[in-house]
Structures are given as structure tokens and as C-alpha cells.
Structure 1
């Protein structure tokens, strides 16, 4: 029988065709089984039901938050749900969720008491902590018992625990109230003398100290003066808050903190005993002993973790959300959160984007149901142009006849103040960090660094400016003059806009500007802030300015980025009990998601890019405050 033999060229193309067929079948199978897996998860989640379980009578609300206290999640719902289901990722707790849970528990007849276990809370600044502390104090004043327990507490966590009726510390536990400090590393010698990097600083304002570490070996006298001024104000308020909550004289609390080293020595290093003697805690108990106490005072439940009937913060929030409908129609006060550093373009939640945050404000302006806007600012600043984009949208809202009220969080400084200054009214907590009205720029040059390894730069240019911004060349003094002029113009723009917005002269603004940082209370005294108050006070004021009437006549709506349909679908599946179980325990699920999620994300980004028209790039002058605790 004759058999036809293929030549080498034909064999190559036949083999290539076989490889292509195999690859096509492999990809098709991956897609098929991946979609089948997602469909199976959806069906199982629907059968099991992801709805919140009801809260039973005589329940204890257990507030044991894990992670950073934030104004806004820094990840989209899809990523957050997936990370949570897989037990991976950085945990975050939204300030608004903590506040609404405490407020709801205050009047909820099914909640008998609240148990605070705050060791896992990575607290933010003192402004947001004081809002939570006030909410706990209101709950306690309503007659609900609050019990706090800790193995180890820092002073920020303790500010919240101190509001409880009873505070217990583990016998081997630790509690230290150490005061406020801010220390930074200074790199001038390392950069300039050791490495040969010359960092050129351009700024206006002797108190604008954010970039000092790159040009000095230690903090400037002006920096120390300004920092100690606002830090002392915040610390004295902290001592007063703790003293009030613990019913102690403020002088006693202060003297106890100052005498801590001697107290620890007398207690032979037993910090738990020191806390007892100073009146900061009511007793020493283990976690098991505290749980026995909760079971004794509440309702024992052998099937429940800890042995007492309770509801977790997460489940209680799901219970509160279960009966809520999306805010559609009717009169609304919109809240737009501006948290994080201010950068140009379209940025994810947790970071302020010149385009993205401006778009949220524009959405509020275009929505006929939104009658007033609260801009919640928690930002140390950032790019000047991006800040100006957001400020213009605040102005546009006011021209549209919609009042804008700013609520400052922990920090609203430099660029954070830039986006705030044109509001109809600015609220801050007394411990908010604000001000820092100033501009700076840094330009490093490295010709001396290159000389150390025998490299030099040379060439020609058609103008004196050609190549002037090449960091491998020394900075021309004339170019340095140009940069300084630009920085000074930015400062004039900043102070001029503040003067117009606040109804003051430029000279008056300059006297409290110069890059200096103030506490919220100090800023109010200097006309940079209108009044003291938290987020709810700002919301109520915005509603009054819009003449919305009684509280039941209007609703609050957070305007934030929403996930794509795919993200919302998968997030819902991942948050369901069955979905979480499958993702956490199934190696197959992990493998499929590891392969499929990156491609799905790329596809979604591509579609979003096609649908989004972005032009140009902002000039990145900097209005930033290296402040906060």
C-alpha cells in the first residue's frame, strides 16, 4: 500500500494547525468551565440565601472592628469581596458604618448592651475618633450598658474604650498613654554628602516643612514651633476627653501620664496594675471571664461563640441594610467623600482624583433630586491643578443654587483646604488638622552622583532652556529663579482664593498661612473654619440651607463610584455564605479565579477606557502637608 509522505514544509503547517486547534479547544474549555462555575455559585447562593439573619431579643452588639478606620473603602466592592472571601487583603472599617451602628443600637430594643473589643482597630486621627467616642457616650447616656475589654490597647483605642461603663484589661495586658509626637528622618547628609544628590527646594512660607527632610539634617525651628503648638492643643483635649469619660480630674490624668516611668517601676513592670492604680480601667479579667460576665448579665447561649447571645458589627450592619432601598428620587442631601492624597486624573476610591472627584460633584450638580451637598474632606493635599479642578466644581454647585457644606475629618490641610475653602460653611472637629496654606516644589540633580562613578553629561542646545530640566546637569540659577517664580505665583493664587472665599484681605490670610498647620479649634479662631461639628452637623446644616424641612422629608445619599454589573454580581456572590465558603475552601475556585480574574479585569478596563474620553494632563505643582498622627 502506497503511503504519501509529507514534505518538511507541509509537516510544519500541519503541526502548527494541530497546535492552534488544541489551544482553541483549551481556551474554550477554560471559558466554559469558568462560566459554569460562576453559574453554579450564583444558583447555590440564591438557594442558600444571602440575607441577614434577624437580630434576636436581648442581644449584645459586639463591636470588634479589624483594620483601618477610614472614611471610604480604598478598594472596589469586587476586589473587597473577593479578598474577604479568600481571607486575604487589608481590612478596613468605614467611619460612617461604625457611627450608624452605634446610633441604631441606641434605640434598638433588641440590643441590650454593647461589648467593645478594639484591639484590632487601627485608628485614624483624633477627629474621627472623637466622633465615635461621642456616639458611644450617647449610647451609654441612653441607658444601654457598654463594656470594653482589651488585651493590649494604644491611646487611640483607649479614647473609645474609656467611654464604656466598665473597662477591663487582661491581667497580662498593657495600656500606655504616652502623648503625641512627630519625628521624621532627615536625609540631607546622606543624599548630598554621601551620594552627591543635590535637592533644590522651592517654597513660600517658613512653616511649609513637608520637604525639609531632603534639604536639612534636623527640623527647622519654625517646624518645631508650629508642630508643638497644634499638638499641645490636640493633646490637652485628649486628656480632657479621657478625664471626662472616666470621671477623673484632668490634672490627675495628666500627672499620672507624666509620672508613668516611676509608676511602672513601683509596680515592678506590671502595666496592667499601673492602669488599675491610675483609674484608667475598672478591673483585670481574661477574655473568658469577660464573656462569662456578658452571659451572666445577658442571655447565655451555649451554641454562640463566647457563650452569650450576640450579634457582630458586620451582621448588625447587614440587618440594618436589609430593609433599606436605594435612594431614588425625593429631596436629597448628597455626601461626596474626598479622602486621601489629591492626584490628577481618574482615581480609585480612597484617593482623590482631579477628574474623578470633580465628576462626583458634577453628578450631584446635574441631579435634580440633590438639593445640597456635603463634601467630607480627609486629605493632606497633593497636586495643585487637581485641587483646583475640585474647587471649581464646588463653585459650580453654588452657582447652581445648591448649598455646599464642608465637613473636615482628621486632616484637611494644604490641598485639602484648597478644595474646602469655597464652601458656604466649613465644619471641623477641634482636633482636626488643617491650614498648611502654602506651595512647594522639589527638583533633584545628580551630576555629582554620576561623577563618583566617572560619568559626566555634556552636549549642546538651541536655547539656554533646552535641557535645563535634565537632572544629570547642574541646575542653572536662572532656571531656579523661574521655578521659584512659579511657586510664588501658586502661593499668591492660594492666598488670593482663600481671601475671596473667606471674605478677608490677602494680608490677613498671609498672616495665618505661610504653610503653618493649625488644629481645628485654632483654625476657627483664625477665621479658616466656621464652626465645630462632625459630619451629621454638617448634613443638618446643608439641609437647612436648602430649606428641606423636617428630617423625614429628605434623605442622605452618598455619591460614590459604582461597580460594573460584573463587579456587583460577583461581589454579591462572594459576600453570600455559600459563595464565601466555596471561595475560601475550594482549591479549584482559587485556581480558576487566579486565571480568570486578571483577564476579566483587563477586559473591563478596556471597555471603560473605550467609553471614557480623557484629554490632557494636569501640571503637578504640589500643595501637600506632611502632617497627622
Structure 2
């Protein structure tokens, strides 16, 4: 009875607010959603200041485009790609979202300036692509470049001392080599080939070409505006303002019926709010695991929370009866072997009590993949960088740097392996052997987890491991993930497993939850070591980590 009374009061207040907005003109009609893609899209929960046309997070973007797809009042979507910085997993999911809008009968036009390949793949979903007359298409195939720091470290007097398990585990190579090893090159060349194929297939679907035509176009650039039109890559040359006006003319709609992205998002959120109340607090929890997994409080200005926050939230979710399913959104290259395992343990405990679905973003490799193994099903985009099932261990010896700076050290110690914690002492043979054993022990545990979670026998698990980084498409072929898909597919699966319909508007709660200001300040002032990226202390450790930020352009 009390619950029904409270629900009635909330509904009354909601509809009173709706009437006030109509009377004050704040809720005018709309037909075309304006969206600007500029800069990076956060993979964490929405927060901070916002711009009216820009989404605050990738989750918000995907969700809002899904609402637009189901909204009969929306007749078209105008997208302006203005130096967007998108990961390849984001690119493929966003392109699918725009294609779904077209399939639902919405007009989709995209305006480009000086466009990258990523922006063009997104734009290829549109019925009409318009390029600025002063712009161009910076499309010239696909490549990646790795920076090796070995000689720079030598000049600084810093000596990296690492061991690795897995012949493809190239994490330490950037500190110990001056070029790719044969195994490293083999793995990255395969990823470039896979990724180019996936992007070509996406462009071919959008533009109605064959895959071979799309590959030829991608490898044939760059293109100035005139050559882009001649090649059929774009449909017209025009300024974005004019391009948007033309969309309204084609739809025979007044320009006053345009609505910016954030206003549309807020209006739809309010409109769907009463329907969410009937769930009585039940919801799907989306846990955003973003960035490297190292211990310590987040340093001032850090874009991601420390793993200890994620650990607390996962422990709370295991006990929360209102969270009926969990989506683990993993966009992480891994990090500390210890924290990868602790988070996996916590997520596995949640999975014993409610469905856990894993969704891999641009990268879910090494310790990131380790954590994602707690989800079933486990989704990845075809362009996700995943796998990297291997381990590195070691430290940086700063003796040469200290000598160059005129810093002397002296120490008193007892114990055979005390040199492991020294920043000035090289590893002894015994210490190196101990590190190797520790790394192999964790690697064996990693293989056991992969074998059990992915239903692979030991031989098959070992074959796809060895520290090799895979594309999501190759990972699906090798049984490392259950299927290809993004956030939308993961949410639909979680709803189904929780007993709801996939298209039902179920409330979603994001984690990590915002911390009170006092708690954040207290954690910042705590005298602990900040997140080491890369680890620069002399303490030798074991990492399930992919430290190389591959940028495929």
C-alpha cells in the first residue's frame, strides 16, 4: 500500500512537470536529432560538464541512438564528425547503430571535415555523406607504429630487467629491444589484416560496395574533396550548416524541428522514467572497467578510478538483490596480476548469484581479458584487441641514473631475495629464477581459468595463449569469446538472462558509483603509492599487462 501511494505521488509530480514544460515552451516538437562527434568518447559513466550536441559517454550515445530508432517522432539524424577520436570497437558499434536507424526508416546524413578512416567508417552508414569543400579524407590504408624506449633508457642509465612467459608476450619488448621480434610482428601483422578486413566489410555494407572495392578505396587514399566525390566515397561537397539544412529540406521539415543531442537525451530519459518505476528498484548494473589495473589511489586528475573502488562495488553487487544482472564493460589492457585476479574473484562471486555478461571494448587484453572471463556470455567487437594470455615480471634498475645524478645508496638487509625490492641492484640469477617461477605459476593459473571459462582443453588453451594478442574476430574463431557484439548486444543478453525482454526499457545503474567529496579527498591524501604507469620503482612485480598503446591508423 505504501509503495503504491509513493508511486502515485511520483507519477503525479512527473506529469505536473511535463505540463509545466509544455506551457513554458521548453518541450517543443522535434523531428531531427543533431549529433556532433568531437574528441574522445568516455567509456566510463557519464559525468562532468557537457555540450548540448555531444554525448558525455559512449554508453549514453549508444543508448540514445537506440531510443531515437524506436521514436516515431524522429524522422532523421544529422551527424557532424568534427575531429572525433574513436576506438575501433566504438567505430563498429556506432556504425551498426546508424545502420539500424536507417533500417528503422530514419534519414541519416553525416557531415565530414578533415576526416580520418575511423570517422569515414562511421559515416559510411549514412544515406548521404557530405564533405567540407576545404576538407579531405585522410585515408591511406592501415598501419601501426611501436615506439621502443631501449636506447632512451640506456642514455638515462635505467636498465630494464624482465622475464616473460609466452613467446608472443611482447609487453617488455618496448623496454628491451629496438624493433619488433618475429613473433611480435607476426601477431600485429595478423591484427592489421583482420582489422582492415573488418573495416572494409563495414564500409561495404554501408555504401553497397563489394569488400574488395572497399579495400581498394581504403588503400588508395588520401583523397582531396574532388577526388573523394569522383571515387564515390562521398556524395556531395558542402559546409555542415548547409548539409543540415538540406536534410530538413529533403524531409520537408522546418529547421525549428531540430533538437540537440543532450536535450533529446534528457527528454527521453524523463519520458521513460515512469515506466522504470514499475521495476521497484530492480535494475541492470553496468560496471565500467576502464584503464590499467594497478593498486593505489587515483592521482589528482586521473580519468579512471583505482581498482579498489571496482572491488568494493563488485562486492556490494553480489549482496544487492535489486541488481538482477551485471554487464562488465571491460576496456583495459590489464595490469597487476594480483589486482586482475582479485577483481576476477569478486566478479566470479557475483556470477554465482546472478547473470554476469562481459562486453569487451577497444582493448580487453591480458589482465583485462582475465577479468572478462567472469562473464558468460562474453562479447567482443571484431576490432577489439584481446587475448594476450601471458605474463611479464621484472623491474627497472635505476643505478646508472642515480650515479649520473650524484646520488649514492647504501643498504642493510637480511634475506636471500632482498634485491628484488632494490631500485639500485641488478637481479641475481637466483632472483631472476624466482621471478620466472612466479610468472610461470600465474601463467598456469591464467591457462586454467581460460580452459574452464571457455570450455577448452588444456592443449587448445595453450595454443591460443602464449601471450598473443588477437583481434575480436580471431578470438571468436578460436573460442576465446562467445560472439561478436557491443554494449547493445550485452545489455539485451543481460535482460534476457534476468527474465526481461531484450527491448524492454530496464533501469540501468552505472558503476563505479560517484564517491562523496570527503571520501575522494581522504583517498587522495592517504600516503600510498600512486598508480605506476609504467611501473618505475625498483620493486619487481608480476604483470598481466599490455602496455603498448597500439594506434591503428
Which residue of structure 2 aligns with residue 280 of structure 1? 233
Cα shift readout 1:473-526 (whole Å, capped 9, x = no counterpart): 333222222222222222122112222222333332121111101111211221
Shift of 1:332: 3.3
The answer on whether the counterparts of 1:55 and 1:110 sit within 8 Å (CA) in structure 2 is no
Which residue of structure 1 aligns with residue 310 of structure 2? 357
Which residue of structure 2 aligns with residue 145 of structure 1? 107
Separation of aligned partners in 1, 2:101 and 2:484: 21
Tell me which of 238, 252, 269 is aligned to 1:321.
269
Which residue of structure 2 aligns with residue 289 of structure 1? 242
Which residue of structure 1 aligns with residue 329 of structure 2? 376
Shift of 1:371: 2.5
Say yes or no: does 1:180 pair with 2:142. yes
Separation of aligned partners in 2, 1:111 and 1:333: 27
Say how many residue pairs are matched: 514
| Secondary structure, aligned partner of 2:479 | coil
Normalising by structure 2, report the TM-score.
0.84
Separation of aligned partners in 2, 1:399 and 1:292: 54
What pairs up with 1:81-230 in 2 under 5 angstroms?
81=49, 93-124=56-87, 126-192=88-154, 194-230=155-191
Which residue of structure 1 aligns with residue 12 of structure 2? none
Separation of aligned partners in 2, 1:176 and 1:446: 42
Q: Flag structure 2 segments of 5+ consecutive residues without an equivalent.
A: 1-19, 533-539
Cα shift readout 1:364-390 (whole Å, capped 9, x = no counterpart): 221222222221211111122111121
Shift of 1:93: 3.3
Which residue of structure 2 aligns with residue 399 of structure 1? 352
Shift of 1:228: 0.8
Shift of 1:357: 1.3
Separation of aligned partners in 1, 2:452 and 2:28: 53
Cα shift readout 1:161-188 (whole Å, capped 9, x = no counterpart): 1111111111121112223222122122
Normalising by structure 1, report the TM-score.
0.74
Shift of 1:308: 5.1
Q: Flag structure 1 segments of 5+ consecutive residues without an equivalent.
A: 1-47, 265-270, 302-306, 568-600
Separation of aligned partners in 1, 2:218 and 2:502: 44
Tell me which of 26, 29, 46 is aligned to 1:53.
26
Separation of aligned partners in 2, 1:298 and 1:448: 69
Say yes or no: does 1:338 pair with 2:289. yes
**Farther-moved stretch of structure 1 (349-358 vs 180-189):** 349-358
The answer on whether the counterparts of 1:186 and 1:216 sit within 8 Å (CA) in structure 2 is yes
| Secondary structure, aligned partner of 2:82 | coil
The answer on whether the counterparts of 1:60 and 1:113 sit within 8 Å (CA) in structure 2 is yes
Say yes or no: does 1:521 pair with 2:473. yes
Change in 2 beyond 3 A, CA 1:456/1:98: closer
Change in 2 beyond 3 A, CA 1:542/1:225: same
Say yes or no: does 1:249 pair with 2:202. no
The answer on whether the counterparts of 1:66 and 1:93 sit within 8 Å (CA) in structure 2 is no
The answer on whether the counterparts of 1:199 and 1:445 sit within 8 Å (CA) in structure 2 is yes
Separation of aligned partners in 1, 2:179 and 2:524: 46
Change in 2 beyond 3 A, CA 1:481/1:369: same
The answer on whether the counterparts of 1:432 and 1:520 sit within 8 Å (CA) in structure 2 is yes
Q: Which structure has more helix as a fraction of its residues?
A: 1
Change in 2 beyond 3 A, CA 1:247/1:384: same
Based on CA coordinates, which of the two structures has the bigger radius of gyration?
A: 1
Separation of aligned partners in 1, 2:513 and 2:264: 23
